[in-house]
Amino acid sequence: MDKTSLVLGFFLIVVGIPVIADVLNKIHKRNTALRERELEIMGSQTAEKAAQYAARTERLEQRVRVLERIVTDKGLDLAAEIDGLREEPVPARPIEH
């Protein structure tokens, strides 16, 4: 081997490999940071949706409690009131000429 090949090989080993490794390391760090940011955003969106579902569930539970109270407190009286509303005639409006 001649000196030029030997110097070129040495330069490649001493300079080229660390430079390539550094570039690959920076790319990896950048991709990792991007993925972490994506996961943070996804986590905050998931938390927001969970809070919305919890609020909706709470509203539905309140409505069910009210319905249970109506059914258990009034029982038959409620059925009679509903039937009474059905039987009342709707007043007719006078016809205008």
What's the pLDDT tens digit per position in 39-79? 999 999 999 999 999 999 999 998 888 887 777 765 566 66
What's the pLDDT at 15? 85
Identify which of 13-27, 65-79, 83-97 has the greatest average pLDDT.
13-27
91 contacts: CB under 8 Å, gap ≥ 6: none
Enumerate the domain spans of the chain.
13-86
User: Mean pLDDT across the chain, nearest whole number?
Assistant: 83
Cα–Cα distance measured from residue 62 to residue 54, given in angstroms and rounded to the nearest whole number:
12
